[in-house]
Amino acid sequence: MTWLVAGLGNPGPTYARTRHNSGAMVVDLLATRAGERFRKARFVPAEVAELHDPDTGERVLLVKSTRFMNESGPSYASMARKAKIGPDRVIAVHDEIDLPFGALQLKSGGSTAGHNGLKSLQQALRSPEFSRVRVGVGRPPGRQDPADYVLRNFSDRERPDAEALLEDAADAVMAITRDGLPSAQDRFNRRRP
């Protein structure tokens, strides 16, 4: 069986380390851990790294769209169709301003809560029934525009905690593929850092 992990983010070095690219950073981390490199997908605007879990025999496709997040859904849906993966075996990893910085929440289905990357993915898959690994980046301070806030890098003060959070999110992704969502939720869901 095959899983698809959609690391939501924006392409290019300008956005690589921003809060909004938390999902892309998680799939980068998973590829690095496995010693795999991303390669351009054929006929799909995406980069893909493939893992084979020796413990379960599961194949895991790590996917980053090369389109901007708001229009990235068709990239992930095309990869899912090519690999014959249903929405129930898609895991979207994304930043979440509605969770405090450092929080982590795993869930299946639900609304997009205004997250345009999730909205694009849900429309392209024609289903909200995919798993989500929600990486808490917190709300912007004061009256700062949320769009500006998520497009900024983690601060120097936040960086150590952000790195630990991304490591946990990567572990959570693999726990879903190995043990299923309910077990992974028991281990990783936390409302506070």
**What is the C-alpha R_g of the chain?**
15
What residues pair up with 49 in beta bridges, in sequence order?
62
Inter-residue contact 37 to 124 (CB < 8 Å): no
Is position 20 annotated as part of the catalytic site?
yes
The one-letter amino acid at 114: G
Inter-residue contact 1 to 56 (CB < 8 Å): no
What element of type H or E holds 173?
helix 159-179
* β 90-96/131-136 pair status: parallel
- Euclidean distance between CA atoms 124 and 127, whole angstroms: 8
**Helices vs strands, H then E, count in the chain:** 6, 7
Q: Tokens 């205004």 — which residue?
A: 114
Which positions are annotated as active-site residues? 20
